[in-house]
Amino acid sequence: MTNKAVYDALVKKFRAHFGREPHVVAYAPGRVEVLGNHTDYNEGFVLSAAISLGTFFAVAKSTSMTCRLVAGDLMREVTFNAEDVAPSSSDTWQNYVNGTFAGLADLKPPAHGFDAMFLGNIPLGSGLSSSAALEMSAGIAFAKLYNIATDAVMLAKIGQRAEHVYAGCKCGLLDQISSLAGQENKLIKTDFRSVTYETVGMGPDACFLMCNTHAKHTLADGAYNRLRENCETAAAHFATVLRHPVNALRDVSMAEWAIYRQGLSETVANHAAHPIGENERVLKGAKLLSEGNLSGFGALMFDSHESSRVLFGNSCAELDAVVDAAKKIPGVLGARLSGGGFGGSAVVLVHSRDAETASAALASAYAATFNTPCEVSLVKPSAGACVVA
């Protein structure tokens, strides 16, 4: 469904279920990570973009302290008390909203409950961060409904805490910042040490193809957390052997990694090399974009995927097949996995004039390998989250 169709469907369902109009409707987009994989929690740099798919969240005040939350696609309702919010082991989709509400309630205790419903068009498990879109759309809607003053960084951190404490995934801030800070036709370059960001223009002749492999993409099962723990172990090692302060892998260069990796297991050393190299690729990539060098930028995307595949181990056969096919298709400039990895989507950089033929070629190559379709869609950097009504 288009965003307009999703909005209309949500308001209609809300009206039918609760018997009244929502007081606030907010929207937050998913995101595509273009360069800088697993660098956010290593205090590094990322180039990302908000996309044209997202989640709408509608909410109205309640006359009691009861909170009613409905997943609009399932039409399943859960309830909890506004003064007693806790993680749930059943209907775990609610934890992203519950955790966001709890974070805002810490800033200003709620005077009433709510009736709420959400609906989106981001394919679940696609690696486009449907979870952050839900958190940020809920956060913006709740902040408006309860008159809570916040800003992008504060709201992003509230969403991150919801992931950590309620959903059990030790994610960084990339997804939330990207959803909030997006701009049309621009990438977001974020420094996750200072948590500041700026936009970088893509130029008029560039777009992305998102190739959803439909391969399993679950990060709360421990794989993401183990990678993060290994990065932290490596940072602690380098802090003891380098002659300058090391607070995170952001502070280590590839040259230093090569010289001082002794003492780390091969697995931990390789896992550390990936975000260290990614940081350097992001900085180089931003410079290439400022010079209008799309081909050079695309080459860095290919390098990034190879690092994910060989060093970090967060790719999979389906994602590798998309990237391998992309290398052989005329008009494709670069390709890599997007997001946490282990499945989901690959992002492919193409000239706009080549998008249609490249889409068909990618879908055909994937079907020939796996006998199942790969969903390919055109994505352009889009505006970030906002109150809609």
Mean pLDDT, rounded, for 125-152: 93
- DSSP letters, 54-117, are EEEEEEEE-SSSEEEEEETTTTEEEEEETTB----SSSTTHHHHHHHHHHHHHHS--SS-EEEE
Kindly report, residue by residue over 179-207, the tens digit of the pLDDT: 999 999 899 999 999 999 999 998 888 89
Q: What is the DSSP letter of 291?
A: T
Q: What is the largest CA-CA distance in the chain?
A: 66
Q: Rounded to whole angstroms, how far apart are CA atoms 370 and 366?
A: 6
Q: Rounded to whole angstroms, how far apart are CA atoms 1 and 347?
A: 21
State the Cα angle at 127 between 323 and 7, rounded to 5°: 130
Report which of 296, 226, 331, 272 is spatially closest to residue 42, judged by C-alpha positions: 272
Which of the residues are catalytic?
175
Whether the pLDDT of residue 1 is over 60: the answer is yes
- Please tell me whether residue 216 adopts helix, strand or coil conformation: coil
Tokens of 52: 């044209």
Q: Hey, what's the torsion of the CAs at 16, 17, 19, 23, to 10 degrees?
A: -100
Q: Rounded to whole angstroms, how far apart are CA atoms 301 and 122?
A: 23
Kindly report, residue by residue over 275-287, the tens digit of the pLDDT: 999 999 999 999 9
Q: Rounded to whole angstroms, how far apart are CA atoms 371 and 197?
A: 42
What pTM was estimated for this model as a whole? 0.88
Kindly report, residue by residue over 86-105, the tens digit of the pLDDT: 999 999 999 999 999 999 99
Averaged confidence pLDDT in the chain: 94
In degrees and rounded to multiples of 5, residue 206 shows phi and psi of -130, 140
Q: What are the structural domains of the chain? A: 3-200 (3.30.230.10), 202-379 (3.30.70.890)
Length of the chain: 389
Mean pLDDT, rounded, for 77-82: 98
Kindly report, residue by residue over 308-319, the tens digit of the pLDDT: 999 999 999 999
Q: What is the pLDDT of residue 389?
A: 84
Mean pLDDT, rounded, for 212-231: 80
Residue 220: pLDDT band with limits 50, 70, 90: very low
Report which of 95, 89, 87, 127 is spatially closest to residue 347, judged by C-alpha positions: 127
